[in-house]
Amino acid sequence: MPEIFIDGRAVQAEKDQTVLQAALANGIFIPYFCWHPQLSVAGNCRICVVEVEAKGGSWLDISCNMPVSEGMRVRTDSEEVRAQRKAILQFITLNHPVDCGICDKAGECTLQDYHYAYNGAPSISHDPKVRATKFFDLSRRILLDNERCILCSRCVRFTREISKSHALGIEDRGDHSLVRPAEDGCFDDDPYSDNVIDLCPVGALLAKSFLYKARVWYLRPTPSVCPGCERGCAVNLWHRRPEWQLNALDPRQNTAIARVTPRENPAVNGPWICNKGRDLAAIFERARAEQAMLKGAPVGLAEAIAAARRLIEAARHPVALVSNWGSNEELAAFKRSLAGRFSAAFVKIDRQPDPGERLEDDFLIKRDKNPNTAGARALFDDAPAALPAATDLVLVWGEGGDFARLPAGAKTILLGSYLAPENGHADVFIPVSIQTERRGSYTNFAGVVSTFEPCFAKKPAVADAEALFAQLGAEERVPA
């Protein structure tokens, strides 16, 4: 491990590290635009310049492509370095529009941060800025503002090195260079395309679903887990901060997911997620079931719980179909409180792949489109093709239960979260909370346990499944 000196401080570096990597690993910040730990080195932006001390005199070079060597001495914040960074920022902002007031990247833009830290001066140019396309449809999901693009090439390298779609490139030269998609339109077919929005250090790549929807400082990220497949990628669900809640314009936005971004987890997904993970709002924000029912007739939650208890107590051969969207905590609560009351409990498949959805690849996407199949199978067996003919009660927890295939004459208890025709057909229907309304954990296909936190409060008429199972399995009768 070579020892190098950064700003006079001795640090131990790995022999294959660059100066930038060694500095960041030791808590010393060097600014960068084009460098990314998961991508190849491009050396486009030059903002990571440092000064290297040598016997014949010091010299300046970029730290992202500078290998460490024993005894080297580097300055990251000398007058020469600051002057160079200021010049680089003057060049980068030469044609960059000053439209931060309407840019979705405002508040997360490294160009803003670096301009404040290393430049802070108006442009020295008096010539008109070079104009380029403002709203270019890069794909069905992404808009490109070429005037804001600083040509860091992160997006291009991502499609070549990570998603392997080779869908983006840079055409022309100099101040006429433009990021453009491949002519065959394959960027639309790249299931990881939205990662380039996060990679973009400025506001050049914009999500159409988030365009002009909210300022980032109005939002709060809640750590969660993507339930889109058994990979269980770590994500952040962004939603309105309580102190910035809307009272007049559209109060529904106070309890809506504004966007979803990756939360880095090296053991599961690294810094990436697929586009399905970006669209979790479409899954979570379907029309909710918030009314308990007995054969389609609305009743109070307590009355529905009492009716479900009576059915369980009266049944001779009850069977439960448990959800592989249930958290580990809910599954454990079911086994602890109710497994002894049922002749058998089986794991059912809640969700099947959507039409046209990519089933699996060698990167992140897995064939099983449910988040906790591994956790459920650790406690219960898989559901058979047909339930025993003697079954006289079936408790169906979650989606995916085929009522047409249940034994004839069997009573049904359905625990669900979304509006569905089966809700009114069940003998007892009890609405239960969803992932964004509770904390818990999932176990992915590789046995990695990941936790999630609640974003919103559940409605009073909706039951928490973990507490519900304790009520259904309690010895004393729950009052109606």
Pairing state of beta strands 411-416 and 393-397?
Answer: parallel
**Tokens for 354?**
């959507």
Confidence of residue 478 (pLDDT cuts 50, 70, 90): very low
pLDDT tens string 258-303? 999 999 999 999 999 999 999 999 999 999 999 999 999 999 999 9
Neighbours of 136 (CB within 10 A): 17
Question: CB-based contacts of 40: which residues, under 8 Å, 6+ apart?
Answer: 157, 161
DSSP H stretches of helix in 388-462: 421-425
Is pTM beyond 0.75? Reply is: yes
CA–CA separation, 220 and 237 (whole Å) = 8
Nearest to 170 by CA among 97, 162, 159: 159
What is the reported pLDDT for 479?
46
Task: Please tell me the predicted confidence (pLDDT) of residue 480.
Answer: 42
Mean pLDDT of the chain: 95
- Nearest-10 crossing angle of helices 301-314, 465-473: 50
Q: How many CB atoms lie within 10 A of CB 41?
A: 15
Q: Show the domains of the chain with their CATH numbers.
A: 3-92 (3.10.20.740), 100-207 (3.30.70.20), 293-473 (3.40.50)
Tell me, what's the pLDDT at 250?
83
Confidence at residue 445, expressed as pLDDT on a 0 to 100 scale: 98
Categorize the per-residue pLDDT at 1 as very low, low, confident or very high, splitting at 50, 70 and 90: confident
Q: In what order do the strands lie in the sheet with 136-137?
A: 136-137, 142-144, 205-207
| Under 8 Å between Cβ of 76 and 30 | yes
The whole-angstrom separation of Cα 67 and Cα 44 is 17
User: Kind and range of the H or E element at 282?
Assistant: helix 280-284
Chain centroid offset of residue 265 CA: 11
Residue 215 near residue 199, CB atoms below 8 Å: no
How many CA atoms does the CB half-sphere of 380 hold within 13 Å?
A: 33
Q: How many CB atoms lie within 10 A of CB 317?
A: 16
**Cα–Cα distance between 340 and 78 in angstroms, integer?**
71
Tell me the CA end-to-end span of the chain in Å, nearest whole number: 70
- pLDDT (tens digit per residue) in 373-428: 999 999 999 999 999 999 999 999 999 999 999 999 999 999 999 999 999 999 99
Instruction: Give the pLDDT confidence score for residue 115 in this predicted structure.
Output: 93
pLDDT per residue as tens digits for the range 233-258: 999 999 999 999 988 778 889 999 99
Chain Cα centroid distance, residue 388? 41
Q: Which of 158, 183, 180, 184 is nearest to 169 (CA)?
A: 180
pLDDT at 175 over 70: yes
Helices of type H across 162-205: 195-199
Q: Per-residue pLDDT averaged across 25-47, rounded?
A: 97
Return the pLDDT at 241: 96
The whole-number pLDDT of residue 476 equals: 52
Q: Note whether 352 and 400 are within 8 A (CB).
A: yes
Which tokens go with 20?
Answer: 């930038």
Question: How confident is the model over 40-60, as a mean pLDDT?
Answer: 94
Closest to 436 (Cα-Cα) out of 226, 168, 189, 125: 226
pLDDT of residue 392: 96
Q: Is the pLDDT of residue 108 over 60?
A: yes
Q: Looking at 64-78, 115-129, 166-180, 257-271, which range is the least confident one?
A: 115-129
